[in-house]
Amino acid sequence: MDAKALAPGIQPGRLDKAGIEAGFSDLHPALDDHEALVAADRCYFCHDAPCATACPTDIDIPLFIRQIATGTPDAAARTILSQNILGGMCARVCPTETLCEEVCVRETAEGKPVEIGRLQRYATDTVMAQYVHPFERDALTGKRVAVVGAGPAGLSCAHRLAMMGHDVVIFDERPKPGGLNEYGIAAYKSTEDFAAREVDWLMGIGGIELKSGMALGRDLTLERLTAEYDAVFLGMGLGGVNALGVPGDDRDGVVDAVDFISELRQAPDLTTLPVGRNVVVIGGGMTAVDAAVQCRLLGARDVTIVYRRSQSRMAASRYEQELAQAKGVRIICNASPVAVHGNGTVREIEFAYTGDDLTPTGETFRLPADQVFRAIGQTLAGVGLPDLDGRKIAVDGTGRTSVKGVWAGGDCASGGDDLTVTAVAEGRDAAIDIHTRLMEQANG
Amino acid sequence: MADLTSNFIGIKSPNPFWLASAPPTDKEYNVRRAFEAGWGGVVWKTLGEDGPPVVNVNGPRYGAVWGADRRLLALNNIELITDRPLEVNLREIKSVKRDYPDRAVVVSLMVPCTEDAWKAILPQVEDTGADGVELNFGCPHGMSERGMGAAVGQVPEYIEMVTRWVKQHSRMPCIVKLTPNITDIRAPARAAHAGGADAVSLINTINSITSVDLDLFAPEPTIDGKGAHGGLCGPAVKPIALNMVSEIARSPDMYGLPVSGIGGVTTWKDAAEFMALGAGNVQVCTAAMTYGFKVVQEMISGLAQYLDEKGLALDDLVGRAVPNVSDWQHLNLNYITKAVIDQDACISCGRCYAACEDTSHQAIDMSEDRVFTVKDDECVACNLCVNVCPVEGCITMKRVEPGDTDLRTGKVVSAQSADWTSHPNNPMSVRAAE
């Protein structure tokens, strides 16, 4: 072990280039043709299949797997993409172990589900490699729709609207489109710039204009959008991050996990990205796992996730928890932060053990830390938004908000479970409702 | 997307996938579900003459053959023709056809071999608005013991006689469904042709016993300790059906006789193969009985994609392989190939070696570190290694180009085609006059 690996503080280059590349390679490498046929062969083509019911975008999974098995992955991709235009990314990031694969009858029979996620990737990769967009636009309607946010919900909504003949302008705050696909998920789930390639491919439908660097509340107002466009879809996600709210949480080295992941995803060379020797991640969701695992992959010596309730209540799936543990991340449960200690810069973080109802047991402990990540949830930022339901924009089943002509979906809208695939479904369904509404208006 | 609209002997359907006359088409409820799922047409399960309904066994009626992972490779059945009253079936056929005018509804018939029996039922079927009739001369169990079904299909003279009656007493298109339980399928097909049939459909099920219960010492399915042969269908019978379809398609005396292909069609590919060998459309049963009606969606998308990729219209596909179905004596003996093993794809299971070393030509070498290579000086290109290899595409047959030397014979490969008819070892060989 060289000195860099043990160096205290937040340092770049803890691992050499080879070590970084090995760690950040594809988490689930693509299936080759033979593997795909063997995997597809295991599907029983169930009636009213549990996997399809479990899919938030209602992909006809048995059909697409049968299409792979019969040598037509293009047709399989069409089956997938007609329901979920971001089927390529969902194949990579969906927690299939808690969705389609969890309910696969072969999971019941043998404890080994059909590899639905990887088969979906096989089909969608096949089509995307052809550089031909598989869908065409219907006759143009002359209607214009504004979409705020170029993440999964906004892209899905925009694509479906464009397909149905409407012209769409997407506004996004960041320099690149893709939302959390581009800035938010672990790098080993979206290798070789997949998020950006997928957006390029999606835009191949035509009729979608992207305006980046445009934030709602800063460069745009809802009033102006509703005045200038025939409909508006809000899919800007959650901009704010919850605070720790404990003494010392403003010390140097205490940062938001989403910012770290975003910086990591955009870093041209990961050997130059600094990371602590002792890292503590506070939270229990996918973001916590993505941040913790990537810290380990950058060479952090000790990485600990601390979650305030019991492990079974962590929002990260069992698979994700095991992935973290396999990568050497320690998970401590039933502990809440009470103070961040240090002299300007964080040195230790103190926790109190808690019961599942968060009552302190009276016992505390300290973990050495030179980097602390907050991953305790995000909040909706912005003013002048439609009515809220709790902390998110209130929507009905088709995404309609309290403001006429304004729909919302994805993480910023109420309901759903903050998954990429749910955002895609909500964007698509809102687009269909927008279309219906606009056509009713057009036909008087 | 390719247009799959099908016109089979004047009967139009949105695609060439029909459900065969069988349990899936026994009643209105099923047929409506089938049409909703996308099937282009149905042949309604065989109707018998008016009177007391047919009786079925009340024990198991199906037996099965399974492959690995319990994949259903074949079903056999001892079910008879419809056991519902004629009047009920006719009423339901009428109702379905009225609601689905764009789908094909053909009615399968089996009545005794008397002109009066056929004369009586034909107008009743015509009255339903059905698109045509299919004569069930194929059912090999039960009804054949009563002189119907395969008992008729095995006697070409009866086929011709009944077909003639049907054409005489009805203006509906008439398809004659043939039994494979004969020695030469062309004889019954010729009889149907001579009787004026608009088309033949084949194959019906094959006489079979799928398994024996080794505790009861009785064939399965076992009814109170006894079993009877049933009719086999499903993927396992496809090769037999393909051959029979092609035999008819390439017979000059039946040129132009439309064929409806039946026998183990499970995927779009199976259907395309039947059509390439001359079938104008296909009929499906076991795939639907195994996977449900939805299975047609893969057939539709797959066939459309294939036609698009080939740049073919559906009609261009029909019979496209028929000119290439030949006799052994006409195969080119100067076409020489050798097996080639793709070492990157090889998983070193050694099955090719066992097959070749033990049962073929000792033409594969196995190294101490389990690398398998073909000995070109021994390989006769039998293809067995390709067939037993578990990895698709790992072993392929590569042609030895004309002008190169075949290391097995030491002879330079000729560019000239030469077959058995002109081979020096053939005492009957045809040679140009000296």
The answer to whether residues B14 and B103 touch, using CB atoms and an 8 Å cutoff, is yes
In this complex, do B393 and A33 lie within 8 Å of one another by their Cβ atoms? Answer: yes
Whether A24 is covered by a domain: the verdict is no
Torsion sign, CA atoms A85, A89, A95, A100: positive
Give the mutation candidate from B69, B291, B298 for the A interface (greatest A CB count, under 10 A): B298
Q: Are B16 and B4 in contact (CB under 8 A)?
A: yes
Phi, psi of A440 (to 5 degrees): -60, -45
Residue A185 lies in a domain: yes
Closest CA to A91 of A151, A181, A163: A181
Question: Residue A67: which of B292, B294, B298 has the nearest Cβ?
Answer: B298
Instruction: Kindly state whether residues A275 and A372 are assigned to the same domain.
Output: yes
Query: Is A122 part of any domain?
Result: yes
Rg over CA atoms, chain B: 25
Going by C-beta distance under 8 Å and a sequence separation of 6 or more, which residues neighbour residue A438? A141, A143, A145, A166, A230, A231
Residues A124 and A182 both lie in one domain:
no
Interface of A with B (CB under 8 A): 33-34, 37, 41-42, 45, 47, 62-63, 66-67, 70-72, 74-75, 78-79
Interface test with B, best of A67, A80, A110 (most B CBs within 10 A): A67
Q: Rounded distance, CA B142 to CA B233, Å?
A: 17
Q: From the CA of A214, how many Å to the nearest CA of chain B?
A: 40
Fold of B6-324: TIM Barrel (3.20.20)
Residue A26 within any structural domain of the chain:
no
What's the topology of domain B328-422?
A: Alpha-Beta Plaits (3.30.70)
Same domain? For A394 and A348 the reply is no
Residues A150, A195 within the same domain: yes
Distance CA A283, CA B406 (A): 70
Residues A297, A307: one domain? yes
**Angstrom distance (rounded) from CA A78 to CA A80:** 5
ipTM for the predicted complex: 0.90
Distance from CA of A46 to the nearest CA of B (A): 7
Q: Which of A337, A352, A378 is the last residue of a domain?
A: A378
Instruction: Work out the minimum CA distance from B348 to partner chain A, whole angstroms.
Output: 15
What helix, strand, coil percent values describe chain B, rounded to 5? 35, 20, 45
Q: Both A151 and A183 in a single domain?
A: yes
Q: What is the CATH number of the domain that holds A422?
A: 3.50.50.60
Q: Given an 8 Å threshold on Cβ–Cβ distance, is A33 in contact with B298?
A: no
Q: Is the Cβ–Cβ distance between A253 and A281 less than 8 Å?
A: no
Alpha carbon distance B261, B236 (integer Å)? 15
Residue after which a domain boundary falls, among A128, A162, A192: A128
CB burial of A170-181 (b: ≥16 within 10 Å; e: otherwise) equals bbbbbebbbbbb
A374 lies in the same domain as A247 = yes
Both A349 and A402 in a single domain? no
All CATH 3.30.70.20 domain ranges in chain B, comma separated: 328-422
Residues A368 and A256 reside in one and the same domain: yes
* Burial bucket for residue B196 (CB in 10 Å: 0-12, 13-18, 19+): middle
Q: Rounded to whole angstroms, how far apart are CA atoms B29 and B84?
A: 14
* Model pTM score: 0.93
A262 and A347 housed in the same domain: yes
- Could you tell me where in chain B the CATH 3.20.20.70 domains are found? 6-324
Range of the domain at A331: 242-378
Given the structure tokens 């491919």, which residue do they identify? A201
- Within a domain: A135: no
Which residues lie closer than 8 Å to A261 by C-beta, 6 or more apart?
A183, A184, A185, A186, A287, A290, A291, A294
- Mean pLDDT, 10 residues at a time, chain B of 434 residues: 96 98 97 98 97 94 95 96 96 98 98 96 98 94 87 95 98 97 97 98 97 96 95 98 98 97 98 98 98 98 96 98 97 98 96 97 97 98 97 96 98 96 89 61
Nearest to A414 by CA among A403, A424, A429, A400: A400
Residue B47 three-state SS: strand
CB-neighbour burial class of residue B1 (10 A; exposed 0-12, middle 13-18, buried 19+): exposed
Residue A12 in any domain: the answer is no
Count of structural domains within chain A:
3
Helices in B76-205 by DSSP H: which ranges? 86-99, 115-126, 150-153, 156-169, 186-194
pLDDT tens, residue order, chain A (444 aa): 566 888 999 999 999 999 999 999 999 889 999 999 999 999 999 999 999 999 999 999 999 999 999 999 999 999 999 999 999 999 999 999 999 999 999 999 999 999 999 999 999 999 999 988 999 999 999 999 999 999 999 999 999 999 999 999 999 999 999 999 999 999 999 999 999 999 999 999 999 999 999 999 999 999 999 999 999 999 999 988 888 999 999 999 999 999 999 999 999 999 999 999 999 999 999 999 999 999 999 999 999 999 999 999 999 999 999 999 999 999 999 999 999 999 999 999 999 999 888 999 999 999 999 999 999 999 998 888 999 999 999 999 999 999 999 999 999 999 878 899 999 999 999 999 999 999 998 887
Q: Which of A349, A378, A407 is the last residue of a domain?
A: A378
Is A269 part of any domain? yes
Q: Is residue A152 part of a domain?
A: yes
Distance CA B143, CA B149 (A): 6
* A336 and A265 housed in the same domain: yes
